[in-house]
Amino acid sequence: MSLNLTGGLHNAGRYWLFAVPAIVVILAVIAFPWLFTLYASLHLMEPTLPTRFVGLNNFISLFRDPNFGWSLVRTIYFAFLSVVASLVLGVFAALVFHRQFVLRGWARTIFIMPMMATPVATSLIWTMMFHPQVGVLNYILTSVGLPPAQWVSNAATVIPTLALVETWHWTPLVMLIILGGLASLPTEPFEAAKIDGANAVQTFFYVTLPLLWPFVLVCALLRTIEAFKAFDTIYVITRGGPGDASETLNMFLYQNAFSYFHTGYASAVAIVFFLVVLVFVVLQLALKRSAT
């Protein structure tokens, strides 16, 4: 018994060697950046000044900075619009593609193509489409007698316009998840609703949606995280403009880190940003747990 135990421990020690590369990668890619970010957030780190410990001064300055507050408001506004729109359109698309019709497979393939494109490339295309003089969207509006829109040139419309691009890009993901949920639903509740004389609208709100609710919450969780992380689309199309009308937390962090080189201050922004996203994720997980 002792020999077997000793041999087992010896083999276990050798098995750990196979995990060393993965552990090194995790420490280098995940643990070290976060530890350095925490370290930098507690220090004054600028190119022209010596690094020195300042404690929580970066966080205090951050919460006193009105630009940070407005960037947080813009981020929440942008996330709310893009998440709600992608959920509504994704559920509707899933209901459509769940039905049998001619060329359904081709239609599904075309619908998910935006999700497979790189955000930078699609953002460049959307930038040309939003052009106030030669953009195709304003051409369509004027051709039907409507006045041209300012899209990303107006502070009042820039966030909804960017949310439109984000919705176009990620609605296919919601559709795929909801479509998988629809395929897994039992048929008995729908048969009972049909026998009871429920119409399509009643069946959706009283049968389909309650059964799909866990899948919808998963989509909401994934989309909320992605919406808060959105950077490339905003940077390519507006770079935070006009003025600072589309300066979300990611743009605010980028400007402080790579334009003004306030490394310590930007690190404090990153930590607060992480905590904000964590709060929303925890709330959604609690809502999902209560729903199931």
Q: What is the pLDDT, as a whole number, of residue 291?
A: 65
Topology classification of domain 66-291: MetI-like fold (1.10.3720)
Tens digit of pLDDT for each residue in 144-192? 999 999 999 999 999 999 999 999 999 999 999 999 999 998 889 888 9
Q: Is 261 helix (H, G, I), strand (E, B) or coil?
A: coil
Closest CA to 81 of 170, 176, 179: 170
Domain ranges of the chain: 2-41, 66-291
Spell out a b/e string for 70-95, using b for 16 or more CB atoms within 10 Å of the CB, else e. ebbebbbebbebbbebbbebbbebbb
State the chain's mean pLDDT as an integer: 89
- pLDDT at position 278 over 80: yes
pLDDT at 3 over 60: no
Residue in the structure block whose two tokens are 């006009």: 242
Average pLDDT over residues 196-221: 90
Of 241, 222, 240, 9, residue with least CA distance to 115: 222
What distance in Å separates the CA atoms of residue 124 and residue 130, rounded to the nearest whole number? 10
pLDDT at 167: 95
Q: What pLDDT, on a 0 to 100 scale, did the predictor assign at position 6?
A: 56
214 HSE (CA, 13 A, CB side): 10
Q: What is the pLDDT of residues 202-213, one digit of tens each?
A: 999 999 999 999
Predicted local confidence at residue 116, as pLDDT: 87
Q: Is the pLDDT of residue 8 over 90?
A: no
Q: What is the pLDDT of residues 24-64, one digit of tens each?
A: 888 788 888 889 999 999 999 988 888 899 999 999 999 99
- Kindly provide the residue ranges of all beta strands, DSSP E only, lying in the chain, ordered along the sequence: 43-46, 49-53
Q: What is the pTM of this model?
A: 0.88
pLDDT attached to residue 1 = 45
Q: What percent of the chain lies above the pLDDT cut of 90?
A: 60
Q: What average pLDDT does the segment 259-274 reach?
A: 92
223 pLDDT higher than 90: yes
pLDDT at residue 177 in the model: 94
Q: What distances in angstroms separate CA 160 from CA 79, 165, 223, 245, one per listed residue?
A: 10, 9, 16, 11
Average of pLDDT values for 231-235?
93
Instruction: For residues 266-271, give the mean pLDDT.
Output: 94
pLDDT at 236 over 90: yes
Q: How confident is the model at residue 2 (pLDDT cuts 50, 70, 90)?
A: very low
Q: Helices 119-129 & 136-143, crossing angle to 10 degrees?
A: 40
Residue 196: pLDDT band with limits 50, 70, 90: confident
Q: Average pLDDT of 215-219?
A: 92
244, 234 contact by CB (below 8 A): no
